[in-house]
Amino acid sequence: MYKPLPKELRLGFSDIHDIGVFAKEKIPMATNFGMTHLQFGDNLIRTPLGGFLNHSDDPNCEKVKLKFTSEDKTPSYEFSKWNLITLRNIKEGEELTLKYTFYGV
Q: What is the CATH number of the domain that holds 51?
A: 2.170.270.10
- Is residue 28 one of the residues assigned to a domain? yes
Q: Report whether 63 contacts 83 (CB < 8 A).
A: yes
In sequence order, which ranges of 5-101 are alpha helices (DSSP H)? 48-51
- Is residue 1 one of the residues assigned to a domain? no
- Is residue 86 one of the residues assigned to a domain? yes
Task: Give the global pTM.
Answer: 0.88
Gap between the Cα atoms of 60 and 88, Å rounded = 6
Q: Report whether 12 contacts 19 (CB < 8 A).
A: yes
Residue ranges making up the domain that contains 13: 9-98
pLDDT in tens, 7-59: 999 999 999 999 999 999 999 999 999 999 999 888 999 999 999 999 999 99
- Is residue 38 one of the residues assigned to a domain? yes
- Is residue 2 one of the residues assigned to a domain? no
- Is residue 27 one of the residues assigned to a domain? yes
On average, the pLDDT of the chain sits at 92
Using DSSP, state whether 101 is helix, strand or coil: coil
Domain tally for the chain?
A: 1
- Is residue 32 one of the residues assigned to a domain? yes
